[in-house]
Amino acid sequence: MPNTERLIKEMMKMKTSPFCAYLYDVKGMEEHARNLAASLPEKVNLYYAMKANPDPVLLQTLNKHVDGFEAASLGELDKLSAYPDHRKVISGPAKTDDFLKAAIGREIRMIHAESIWEAERIDHIARMMGKKVGIALRINLEKAIGKARLTMAGKPTQFGISESELPAAMEVIKQLPFIEVSGFHFHSVSNNLDAEAHLSFAAQCVERAKHWELLYHLQIDYVNFGGGIGIDYEQTDAPFNWELFAEKLPSITDTAPDRWELVFELGRYLAGPFGFYAAEVMDVKENHGQAFAAVRGGTHHLRLPAAWKMSHPFEIVEIEEWPYPLRRPELKGKEIWITGELCTPNDVLVRGMPCSRIRVGDIVLFHQAGAYAWTISHHDFLSHGKPEMIYM
């Protein structure tokens, strides 16, 4: 972390309203992306899943070290017009015709098809545009990674084609003249911390893709493992072991044909550790024996802890300046609940975590807030002001 605390204290001296900001360690993120890309085997490409954070400054930072981008909406795809030399793929359920037309017209690397109907619709649009299109079928595997925060495969979800339904799907899709099955997409989990499990998952993907290529007489050139590599929000001292993962990955990827492009589309793992959310404490109190600190901000800026019912990792930045000719409220040695400014009891960022001291006027600095944070939040609820965006 760069001198975040010092920067906050300097800005507090100049503030005219309660402090609330996102701070991004741009240099740290760039170095991280560079190291990740360098550690991957030669036939594996690193894409950025921009749903994690589509901030233009971060895209500009990451584009130097990723081979491509994954977009899950037309709006995201439009933002990638600034990077014409990068490979682009599109994902997501319920794609609109306009999204598919843009992807086909811009001749992106791959469309991840979520269903038989979506494949038929891609073929129909491609026919009207007079272009043959390569697609990667998104497969909901029968068995996927078991221990992850969220799972999108190995169970019923809205994502992909069930592995058991692939034979029937291929019968239909292979009759569509304007699409060609050029690969498979296997995004299955979110925030997995088990490197060995992720290696087993990658091995399963390679083996299944090799089997299907032979079985269905395909000539594929693309296998996308998705993302899903996590960060340790709950500070269990068991983060994802990237060094082990990168060391063992070649034993899996070397078994794939050389013509295949193997892709990891990382989002959270690329951006998450390099964003911070800072919010000034506006009030502290105890209510029915429970300690609360209310901040200028909340889940309309940082929705993830409410969505996952977790305590977001934080620290207290102590601010000594006190502008009021009044006593300064504080709490000491309490298990603190940190809440926001919204008129709902669900506006909770931290749930009963130990805190040695917290005062009105201090800053709560939330770590690991670079991904699935600002852009997934309900900004307009109560029409509160937005946080500043600060790039370090």
Active site members: 343
Contacts 24+ apart (CB under 8 A), 207-211: 207/255, 208/139, 208/141, 208/163, 208/184, 209/183, 209/184, 209/256, 209/260, 210/255, 210/256, 210/257
Query: Can you give the three-state secondary structure of the chain, one letter per residue?
Result: CCCHHHHHHHHHHHCCCCCEEEEECHHHHHHHHHHHHHHCCCCEEEEEEHHHCCCHHHHHHHCCCCCEEEECCHHHHHHHHHCCCCEEEECCCCCCHHHHHHHHHCCCCEEEECCHHHHHHHHHHHHHHCCCEEEEEEEECCCCCCCCCEECCCCCCCCCEEHHHHHHHHHHHCCCCCEEEEEEECCCEECECCHHHHHHHHHHHHHHHHHHHHHCCCCCCEEECCCCECCCCCCCCCCCCHHHHHHHCHHHHCCCCCCCEEEEEECHHHHHHHEEEEEEEEEEEEECCEEEEEECCCCCCCCHHHHCCCCCCEEEECCCCCCCCCCCCEEEEEEEEEECCCCCCCCEEEEEEEEEEEECCCEEEECCCCCCCHHHCCCCHHHCCCCEEEEC
Tokens of 87: 């490979």
Tokens 């030399």 label which residue? Answer: 85
The bridge status of strand 44-49 relative to strand 20-24 is: unpaired
Packed helices 166-173 and 116-129: angle between N→C axes, nearest 10 degrees: 20
How far apart CA 252 and CA 200 sit, in angstroms, is 9
